[in-house]
Structure formats: C-alpha cells, structure tokens
Amino acid sequence: MEKTRNRHETDTKQNTKRNARFVVLFFGIIFALTFFLAVNLNYCQGDSTVDISTTATVREFGEEPEPPPSGGGSGGTIIVSPGKVILKGRAYPNAFLTILKNGKVAATFFAEKSGLFEKELTGLSGGVCTFGIFAEDSDARKSVTLSFTVSVLAKMTTTISGIFISPTIALTPTHVEKGNIVDILGQAFPESQVNIFISSKETVKTTGASENGKWSYKLNTGFLEEAEHKARAKALFGEGEQSPFSQTLSFLVVSPGALVCQGADLNFDGSVNIIDFSILLYFWEQARPSNKCADINFDGNVSIIDFSIMMYQWTG
C-alpha cells in the first residue's frame, strides 16, 4: 500500500516536471516567434498606401548613445531606447506640411523650394504607429491626408520614403453654362504631369505643373451633359511615380442662358408670388422646359423640388 502511494507520488512528481518542461518549452517557442516577428515586422499599410509607392527601411542607430534615464527614475526601471522615424517625399515648393501620429499633430514644417521634404521624428516609443501627412499650398489649399501604419522599433530608424503628396485642386465657377470654361487649378510637385479626371463622363485631361508647382487647365464644358460633374487630379513624376488622388470637387453644368435666371422669381419682377407660381404650373412636369428658369434647380425637370424652392423663396 505504502509502495503504491510512493509510486503514485513519484509518478505525480514526474508528471509535474514533464508539464513544467512542456510549459517552459511552449512559452520559449512563443517568445522566440514574437521576437522573430518583432525584428522582422516592417510594413506599411492603410487606405492611402494603395496609390503611393512608399517604402520603409529600418536600420540600427549603431553608435548612438543610450538616452539618459528620466529624472527621478527609481532603480530597476527598464529604459527603452526610443525609435526614430524619417518621412520623406514630394510635395509643392515651400508647402506647409503637417505630420500626424495616431491622429495628433506630431510636427509641422515647410517643404524645400524644390518641393522635396524630409522630416525626422525622434523619441518615439516602440510599437505600431499610424502616421498621417498632408500639405497646404501657398494659397492655403489642402491636399488629402496620406496615412500609413508602421512598426517603430526601439533603437531603430524607420525611413518612410517615396511619399508623394496629392495635388491641391480648386475650380471656378461652380455653376457654368454648357460650352463655357471651368478653370481647374492647384499645385503639385514641380514639373510633374497632372492628370485631371472628370466624371460622370469619365474623361482624363492632362496638363503640367510649372517650376513653382502651379498647374491649371481650362475645361471646355461643351462635351459634358447638363448635370453635376466631379473633378479630381493626380500627379505623375519620373518613371511611374504617382500621387494619390486630390480632393474631389464638383461643378454644375447648366443649359446656355440658364444662369440669367433669378431663382424662383420666374418673371424677374423682384418678388416670388402667385404670378411665378402660375408660370411654374404652366411648365409643370415638363422635361427641359422652353422656359429654362422654370426648372429652378436645373435638374432637367419641373417638379415638386422646384415648387419647394419656390415656397422657400416666397415673398408674396
């Protein structure tokens, strides 16, 4: 009986030892895998990286000294050496750039006159960070924000290069009679090619940015339907480098003469009243009415929408 109990205890001890060895081995493998991934993890991702050929490289600081311990740090505190991130790429001459780190402003600075920029962020604690960057041109127009997620490693320099800031864009006028010109303009990296994409009728127009980064295009609206259209641009430089799309702006093409209309005042007498209402009724539910002004919102039909605009502008 005693023997059996001893054997049982011996077995239990052996099992416990075996289990302990197994646990040590298991966590050893997990630790090794985690370390391996941490060292090799070096990637960029995020919505905006689809369109930019951004690359990230990581190197060790080398002989950089350890930072001094923070004031008052008690003994036994593990000092983690901060990491460093360098962002560089193309913007516009003297563009005002803002870098966001996890949604908060981390740095602001100006691009060079050449349009190139480079910014070093130091003292970053290790871990996965999402960086965003956008530019403001000399006329205070903003680019879209590019973002990328990178793994910042302690004592390492992560370089994110190949950032190509999207062009800025503006257009005027936003209401244009068919056949008239819409001026589309903005800034991009100097001497890059600028492709302007017009929709809903998918069309690409090409122009070039000058030495000072400015670009413009006079779009003749003769080929567009009388409707709302959108314009956005992207810059191309060198061999295949291209920026993401700019912001998207819209403009309305209306029929020739329609812009002389005075809203719901269909007879131009300065009031919106029963006379205008009777004109509206005359053209009620007509598509492209001969009196263009009766289609108050220029959507191609005289409908309840025009009536509601008239009620809103009603002066009596």
313 binds Ca ion (CB under 5 A): no
Cβ atoms of 283 and 208 within 8 Å: the answer is no
Sign of the torsion formed by the C-alpha atoms of 206, 210, 212 and 218: negative
Query: Which residue, 252, 301, 259, 257, is CA-closest to 280?
Result: 301
Cβ atoms of 221 and 253 within 8 Å: the answer is yes
What is each CA distance from 206 to 72, 231, 233, in whole angstroms?
61, 12, 9
269 binds Ca ion (CB under 5 A): yes
Tokens of 227: 């409707």
Q: Candidates 75-83, 98-106, 223-231, 271-279: pick the segment binding Ca ion (CB under 5 A).
A: 271-279
Query: Min. distance of Cβ 219 from Ca ion in angstroms?
Result: 25
One of 83, 249, 306, 310 touching Ca ion (CB under 5 A): 306
Using DSSP's 3-state secondary structure scheme, residue 107 falls into strand
Query: Min. distance of Cβ 227 from Ca ion in angstroms?
Result: 12
Q: Candidates 72-80, 118-126, 238-246, 303-311: pick the segment binding Ca ion (CB under 5 A).
A: 303-311
Q: CB nearer to Ca ion: give 226 or 306.
A: 306
One of 210, 291, 297, 313 touching Ca ion (CB under 5 A): 297
The C-alpha atoms of residue 256 and residue 272 are separated, in whole angstroms, by 23
Query: Min. distance of Cβ 58 from Ca ion in angstroms?
Result: 59
Query: Which residue, 252, 181, 246, 255, is CA-closest to 218?
Result: 181
Calculated CA dihedral for residues 218, 223, 229, 235, nearest 10 degrees:
-50
One of 265, 280, 289, 310 touching Ca ion (CB under 5 A): 265
One of 163, 192, 276, 294 touching Ca ion (CB under 5 A): 276
One of 267, 286, 291, 313 touching Ca ion (CB under 5 A): 267
Query: Min. distance of Cβ 225 from Ca ion in angstroms?
Result: 15
Q: Candidates 30-38, 128-136, 200-208, 269-277: pick the segment binding Ca ion (CB under 5 A).
A: 269-277
Query: Min. distance of Cβ 269 from Ca ion in angstroms?
Result: 4
262 binds Ca ion (CB under 5 A): no
Q: 132 - beta bridge partners?
A: 100, 147
Residue span 88-107 as binding mask against Ca ion, x where in contact by CB under 5 A, dash where not:
--------------------
Query: Min. distance of Cβ 292 from Ca ion in angstroms?
Result: 10
299 binds Ca ion (CB under 5 A): yes
One of 136, 137, 226, 295 touching Ca ion (CB under 5 A): 295
Q: Rg (Cα) of the chain, in Å, rounded?
A: 32
Any idea how long the chain is? 316
Q: CB nearer to Ca ion: give 208 or 263.
A: 263
The C-alpha atoms of residue 281 and residue 291 are separated, in whole angstroms, by 12
Query: Min. distance of Cβ 281 from Ca ion in angstroms?
Result: 14
What is each CA distance from 184 to 149, 232, 242, 245, 254, in whole angstroms?
33, 9, 19, 15, 18
228 binds Ca ion (CB under 5 A): no
Q: What residues make contact with Ca ion under the rule CB under 5 A?
A: 265, 267, 269, 271, 276, 295, 297, 299, 306
